[in-house]
Structure 1
């Protein structure tokens, strides 16, 4: 199974590769900005380019069956710009499955129905730019006909997978404070194999 991976050099992307890279049934191809020998991928599976460039995105997605995005907001609109290309190419190439990493800020608010968490006091972050960028991507996914999953971890410190965490559809698990990069990557890998959360956001926390 060929997978096109975006954001492979980020924290979740690298942790995901350490897990999925041992699965011989998965052929993972990654789009990265510059050479990186630490990814553990054969050079033939690495495309050097930019997620904002449609041709680079198209090259790594050629013949892919699943697309995974661990892209961050990068301080600008790179995330939504890349997702615009990804969704268009998925439609052209008849790729149905997409898993992407979001943020807990765009989960539904428990205390103010109809609002995102970042729009309420549930979110402790004062800056909302990144959450708004993720919300833009969420709107794109809702309007698509894809089998998508948007994984939304709360505060994300470095750390290995403990294997015990809570996942809940469209809201953050009650009193959830954090989840490590390792467990977020472990959930991503599990969702890749099972497809348990197609068509929804997933709140992740301990």
Structure 2
């Protein structure tokens, strides 16, 4: 499979890229700073560019079968600005499958029906800016015809993969406290070839 990975210099994105390369897939990464990449060299194409550039995005997406976006909010509006461009490019190039990394804040609230977690008292976070960015990106995907899945982890510490975690469609599993970067990346990567959570958000936690 040919996979475009956005956010490959981040904690989750770099791990997803490593898993794909280990399995022999061809990986394309679009990065602003190639020197920040920590990848085992393999069947990889590195494109230096900006995800906010239509030209760079089209160049990176060409010839790929699927997209994984692990772009972060990074204190900016990059995520909400980039997502419509990703959708437009994928439709132009007839790419249907996209898996993105979101946040538990955009899952449905169990205590306040009809609200998202970050909008309710269910979330412990005082600041909602990042969740609002992810919410805008979610809305774009929700309105698109793409086969999307948004992985929504709770607290993300580093650590080895345990391989034993809980997932729930559109909600965060009860009692959720954390999920490692490694297990989040492994689960997100597996969704490329799964139809279980197409057009869904997925809460993930131990």
Distance 2:86 2:160 in 1: 30
In the TM superposition, structure 1's runs of 4+ consecutive aligned residues that sit over 3 Å from their partners are: 41-44
Q: Show the counterpart of 1:55.
A: 55
Map 1:126-205 → 2, pairs under 5 A: 126-205=126-205
User: Taking structure 1 as the reference length, what is the TM-score of the superposition?
Assistant: 0.96
Q: Do the aligned partners of residues 40 and 120 (structure 1) sit closer, same or farther apart at CA in structure 2, a change above 3 Å counting?
A: same
Please tell me the root mean square deviation across aligned C-alpha atoms, in Å: 1.3
Is residue 157–residue 179 contact of structure 2 (8 Å, CA) maintained in 1? yes
Structure 2 unpaired stretches of 5+: none
Counterpart of 1:29 in structure 2 is 28
**Per-residue deviation, 1:41:** 3.9
- Residues 5, 88 of structure 1: CA spacing in aligned structure 2 closer, same or farther, 3 A cutoff? same
Partners of 1:98 and 1:155 lie apart in 2 by 23
The gaps in structure 1 that reach 5 residues or longer are none
Q: Which runs of structure 2 are paired with 1:7-156 in the superposition (5 Å)?
A: 7-24=7-24, 26-36=25-35, 38-41=38-41, 45-156=45-156
For the residues of structure 2 that align with 1:44 and 1:201, how far apart are their CA atoms? 29
Residues 157 and 181, structure 2, Cα contact 8 Å, conserved in 1: yes
